[in-house]
């Protein structure tokens, strides 16, 4: 539900703009308000679960998320909707890391946890694609408000069942690291905002770079200063928000870097693939959403295989094979053109990419939580979520800059080649479609490169042994 909400709203944005009279600039805040609150508060949400009880914080986050979704669905003006989106992000920041931590402390390391992580991985990665499908169906056959209302019954059912199926974790001794929480939340928020605002836009055939905008520079500089201050505070604090011991493991640090790469590659690819099938191939929102189904199938297949194989092969081989498949699928996707067919140009790359992501995420989660003491499982989980969230912002910023710049360059070259010749409407459309296909293909190439970087990180950092994932006491101190 939490991951799905990052994409389900995207499909409804044009309808929201018409209903609540958003300007083009303000409309991006429907997405950014959620991303800022979610990304900025993930570390605090994870630590809250460690100190106050994970089930308690999980239920509180789910109920807050559902309540904010209900409020967002009834919004009658812009401020109302943006306020609801911020509260949704806060609820998500409480629920996401505690859900993963609850799995870690509920299932012992070994076969049981591997299976649980397989289900979690499939749900987490597929959530983005399912959001696009659900968004298309709801906006086409119901109303844009249902992209928010749909969360309410799910949230209520989850909150009702949680006390009956989840045990409460032991509350850890300690207090909140307030200076660390403030600097981390503001620093991550500034980073997400700066990257979200930096993405190159495309208007009237021109790519407009925002990397030099004052607000972008100020936000990114502020994020560096605040996160630097956070690192200093954590090194000296007795009650650190992110205890340095969590990051001492080479394997765990590698897992967080891979999580960052996955978020960067995957969210940017989703964004431009959706634009491609709608703007170049003329797909409706419903058809574009349904086109993702094979990728969802690949993710579920990969996660299922991975949860069964990780006990036999260990984590490292899967964390090499998975990114290699994903990189291959994204490179294959970069070969797509405006003349390609769905079966010939999109189906194969999506299945291969989905399979690679599914194979990667299960061992990634297991490594990130392997041999983490119970007291730190919440913050260890939140770091994994933070990597994906920040990676998504980086992906949209970098891929947007590359793709739209390439689109504008291709259009300029085509216009210069045409000279003063008057082009028919069909010729102009063909030229525009070719430019979009070319530009987006460059974005997919960058995604492939980032997935390849995840493979390199696996080769360098991941050294965890198969025995380390089998039956290790989760209360033991990390020694890897």
Domain CATH for 69: 1.20.1250.20
Packing angle of the helix pair 377-418, 24-52 (nearest 10 deg) = 160
Q: Over the stretch 291-303, which tens digit does the pLDDT of each residue have? A: 888 988 998 899 9
Q: Over the stretch 337-384, which tens digit does the pLDDT of each residue have? A: 999 999 999 999 999 999 999 999 989 999 998 888 877 888 888 898
Whether the predicted pLDDT of 174 surpasses 80: no
DSSP state of 241: S
For residue 19, tell me if it sits in a domain. Answer: yes
For residue 452, tell me if it sits in a domain. Answer: yes
For residue 233, tell me if it sits in a domain. Answer: yes
* Rounded Cα gap, residues 43 and 379, in angstroms: 6
SS3 sequence of 319-340: HHHHHHHHHHHHHHHCCCCCCC
For residue 112, tell me if it sits in a domain. Answer: yes
What average pLDDT does range 232-238 have in this prediction?
Answer: 88
For residue 473, the model assigns a pLDDT of: 38
Name residues whose C-beta falls within 8 Å of residue 355's C-beta, 6 or more positions apart in sequence: 298, 299, 301, 302, 325, 329
Q: Over the stretch 70-108, which tens digit does the pLDDT of each residue have? A: 999 999 999 999 999 999 999 999 998 898 888 888 888
For residue 4, name the pLDDT band (cuts at 50, 70, 90).
confident
For residue 106, tell me if it sits in a domain. Answer: yes
pLDDT: which is higher, 414 or 342: 342
* Rounded Cα gap, residues 407 and 433, in angstroms: 10
Q: What is the pTM of this model?
A: 0.85
DSSP strand E in 56-193: where? none
For residue 475, the model assigns a pLDDT of: 34
CA-CA-CA-CA dihedral for 467, 116, 67, 157, to nearest 10 = -150
For residue 475, tell me if it sits in a domain. Answer: no
Query: Percent of the chain having pLDDT more than 70?
Result: 96
For residue 314, tell me if it sits in a domain. Answer: yes
Q: Which domain holds residue 124?
A: 5-415+427-469
For residue 421, tell me if it sits in a domain. Answer: no
For residue 169, name the pLDDT band (cuts at 50, 70, 90).
low
Residues 201, 206, 211, 215: is their CA dihedral positive or negative? negative
Q: Domain tally for the chain?
A: 1
């Amino acid at each position: 539900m939490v991951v799905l909400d990052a994409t389900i709203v995207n499909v409804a944005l044009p309808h929201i703009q018409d209903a609540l009279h958003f300007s083009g600039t303000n409309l991006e805040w429907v997405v950014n308000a959620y991303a800022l609150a979610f990304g900025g508060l993930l570390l605090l949400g994870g630590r809250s679960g460690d100190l106050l009880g994970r089930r308690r914080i999980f239920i509180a986050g789910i109920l807050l998320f559902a309540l904010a979704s209900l409020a967002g669905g009834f919004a009658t003006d812009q401020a109302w909707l943006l306020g609801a989106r911020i509260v949704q992000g806060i609820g998500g920041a409480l629920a996401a890391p505690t859900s993963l931590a609850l799995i870690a402390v509920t299932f012992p390391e070994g076969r049981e946890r591997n299976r649980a992580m397989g289900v979690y991985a499939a749900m987490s990665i597929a959530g983005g694609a399912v959001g696009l499908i659900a968004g298309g169906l709801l906006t086409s056959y119901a109303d844009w408000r249902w992209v928010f209302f749909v969360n309410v019954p799910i949230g209520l059912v989850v909150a009702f069942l949680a006390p009956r199926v989840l045990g409460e974790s032991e509350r850890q001794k300690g207090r909140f690291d307030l200076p660390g929480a403030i600097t981390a939340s503001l620093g991550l928020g500034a980073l997400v905002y700066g990257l979200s605002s930096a993405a190159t836009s495309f208007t009237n055939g021109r790519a407009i770079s925002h990397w030099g905008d004052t607000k972008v520079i100020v936000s990114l500089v502020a994020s560096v200063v605040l996160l630097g201050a956070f690192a200093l505070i954590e090194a000296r604090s007795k009650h650190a928000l992110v205890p340095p011991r969590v990051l001492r493991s080479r394997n765990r640090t590698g897992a967080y870097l891979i999580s960052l790469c996955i978020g960067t590659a995957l969210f940017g690819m989703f964004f431009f693939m959706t634009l491609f099938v709608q703007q170049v191939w003329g797909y409706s929102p419903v058809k574009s959403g349904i086109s993702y189904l094979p990728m969802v199938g690949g993710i579920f297949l990969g996660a299922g295989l991975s949860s069964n194989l990780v006990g036999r092969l260990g984590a490292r081989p899967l964390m090499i094979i998975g990114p290699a498949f994903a990189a291959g699928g994204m490179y294959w996707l970069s070969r797509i053109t405006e003349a390609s067919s769905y079966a010939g140009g999109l189906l194969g790359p999506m299945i291969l990419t989905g399979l690679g992501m599914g194979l990667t995420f299960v061992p990634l989660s297991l490594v990130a939580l392997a041999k983490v003491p119970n007291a730190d499982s919440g913050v260890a989980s939140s770091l994994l979520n933070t990597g994906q969230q920040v990676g998504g912002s980086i992906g949209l910023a970098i891929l947007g800059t590359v793709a739209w710049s390439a689109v504008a360059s291709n259009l300029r070259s085509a216009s210069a080649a045409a000279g003063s010749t008057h082009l028919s409407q069909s010729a102009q459309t063909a030229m525009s479609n070719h430019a979009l296909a070319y530009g987006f293909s460059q974005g997919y190439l960058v995604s492939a490169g980032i997935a390849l970087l995840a493979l390199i990180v696996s080769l360098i950092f991941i050294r965890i042994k198969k025995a380390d994932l089998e039956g290790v006491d989760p209360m033991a101190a990390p020694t890897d």
